[in-house]
Chain A
């Protein structure tokens, strides 16, 4: 079997745009999380909703910041 070159799972050229896209989604969700925290009262707040928004936005922020690191040349 001839050796096969290994490439990155995502093309390197996509990193900057992926980072902008995912970070903006993540930041919008984070904003909505904090708006929800600030506007809802202690009794009307739903824990499941808080955790769901938190989890989804941390997913986007996590991948967004990873791609940001990769795009700036910090290859983790």
Chain B
């Protein structure tokens, strides 16, 4: 009876809101709403059973949110479960679009969900809607001291606000604990442990509304990232470098009065319960080269551990974060290329998660920058929700034209956005060689500079005596080097002759030995011809006066050497041809060999001495 009179009292209320006739003939026959207030993010899960009472086929369902809530709406997903009861598993996601239907109250925001197939007269359809709100829990009192617990207020409507008639509805509000300061009580309102239950309410016309407020204790750290910039730099040499710049604020009730570290550390579970001690970032598996530093490069405490599915990074800011306090830090890590980069149909694509790796965090403004390698073309991004996209160019290590960057921006990001997105681009593997080519040309330029320096003549007075003397000395040196190289070639011919003699004693082939002799004679003549102008120059040059005796000595030694060798050669060949006694030949040769050895040694010493000139 009491509930009847109450409902009657509210009739006036909804009549005033209802500004025009409701166009659709849809009716919500049953709705269960669950509001989850356990963290700083408010999640409202509604399961609606929609029934078509009209004659026309309905193809969409309108979802209404008050403007106050809609501006904090971060994520809205509508899905349909195939099958019923426990068998329902495969959820089909339905498209949701922002619409502005005519003749509806102006302070409501409408979203339209398209149904997979038209809803005929008398049919019903079950829909699951997940709406995620940020910044919806208001701290009250607005400021607290270190010893206080944090109390927050949540406001909503006990009735489901809908442009359709609602036949039967229930609402459950889940709180982090049973400690509730106050809550709006209506008949049939129950507090069971940490759940507040409203309803059931029956047969409510469109746009019914009664306010509720829940004032409860929440020690959940309200970590809010005001701006997060994630930079994903792809290197085809085998790495994806992720760098994340956080500028973070504790969005809970601001701290009133001073902060006492003694109190904080002596009774940590009680004092400063809502403060943030550390964050845990869940990085992809096989993340390596992980670092954490704050804005000016201080390295603070961090711990890293991993299993096959995740790499966990626990980071501690330099001070515990209380309400209203800020910090900013940077974390970075490398990921192996093969886990995230794929090729299909001639295009390459990066497949990586969008949001930040820290759990239950709200990001006001997220910027994701994907830095592609130099030479990438036809860049496009596929993100499953609306983002602001733009392109820019970044200059990094060993770049010539800069790397193309695709920038994705989104406001109001919640963990639900932490899903994979793709960036497609075309890349030729030859462009990989740009970086080594740059390094090689750098080094080559250095060598060329050395060569040019050694080849240029930088002296100013080209006719001074000392300059000319130096020039001549250089020339003498070069000539001596040439002479030495010719002498070395002559000595090489000597060696050849000796080898032919050895071959003769082994095989007895006189003809080949004679041929070798002939060839040697020819080359001796050629070399002597080459030597002549050089010697002429050395003899005439005044700069060569010091070196000339030595060269002369070397030449005479060489001549003697040549004569003796020829003598030896003739003796052995003669001995072979006349078949004279072996011993006789050997005796003659032995004395020549001795002299040859001495001459060779002398020639070598002279060569060494001249080489140092």
A residues whose Cβ falls under 8 Å from a Cβ of B: 1-10, 12, 26, 33-34, 37, 41-45, 47, 50-51, 53-55, 57-59, 61-63, 65-66, 69-70, 73-76
Contacts and interface: CB of A to CB of B under 8 A. Distances in A.
Given A2-B344, A7-B238, A75-B237, A66 B475 contact: no
B348 A6 contact: yes
Given A4-B343, A7-B238, A61-B443, A54 B435 contact: no
Interface string B265-293: 00000000000000000000000010000
B45 to A, nearest CB: 34
A6 B235 CA distance: 11
Contacts of A2: 344
B344 A3 contact: yes
B197 interface: no
B478 A43 contact: yes
Interface stretch (B25-33, B173-181, B448-456): B448-456
B337 A8 contact: yes
A42 B439 contact: no
A57 B343 contact: no
B334 A3 contact: no
A21 to B, nearest CB: 15
B439 A54 contact: no
A33 B338 CA distance: 41
Given A9-B429, A44-B481, A66-B435, A74 B397 contact: yes
Contacts of A57: 443, 447
B238 A12 contact: yes
Given A37-B454, A41-B481, A63-B440, A3 B349 contact: yes
Interface size class of B (residues with CB under 8 A): 35 or more
**Ranked 9 nearest A-B pairs via Cβ:** A8-B238, A54-B447, A62-B440, A43-B478, A58-B443, A3-B342, A75-B235, A62-B439, A58-B444
A4 B435 CA distance: 25
A43 B481 CA distance: 10
B458 to A, nearest CB: 13
Given A8-B236, A62-B439, A66-B436, A47 B451 contact: yes
B96 interface: no
Contacts of A8: 236-239, 337
B474 A43 contact: yes
A73 B241 CA distance: 10
Interface in B559-590: none
B378 interface: no
A23 to B, nearest CB: 11
A68 to B, nearest CB: 10
B603 to A, nearest CB: 21
B440 to A, nearest CB: 3
A59 B440 contact: yes
Contacts of A74: 397
Interface in B95-122: none
Given A7-B337, A9-B429, A37 B236 contact: no
Contacts of A43: 474-475, 477-478
Given A33-B447, A54-B451, A66-B435, A76 B440 contact: no
A10 B239 CA distance: 12
Contact of A63 (B349, B398, B436, B442): B436
Contacts of A51: 447-448, 451
Contact of B344 (A1, A55, A61, A63): A1
Contacts of A7: 238, 337-338
Contacts of B396: 76
Interface string B325-345: 000000000101111011111
Interface string B425-443: 0000100100111011111
B482 interface: yes
Given A74-B397, A75-B334, A55 B439 contact: no
Nearest to A69: B397
Contacts of B442: 58, 62
A47 B450 CA distance: 12
Contacts of B398: 76
Contacts of B241: 75
Interface string B495-514: 00000000000000000000
A9 B474 CA distance: 51
Contact of B447 (A42, A58, A69): A58
Contacts of B444: 54-55, 58
Interface string B470-499: 000011011001100000000000000000
20 contacts: A4-B343, A6-B341, A9-B236, A26-B443, A42-B478, A43-B474, A43-B475, A45-B454, A45-B455, A47-B455, A50-B451, A54-B450, A58-B441, A58-B443, A62-B439, A65-B439, A75-B237, A75-B239, A76-B237, A76-B396
A57 B442 CA distance: 12
A37 B397 contact: no
A70 B436 CA distance: 11
Nearest to A7: B338
A63 to B, nearest CB: 5
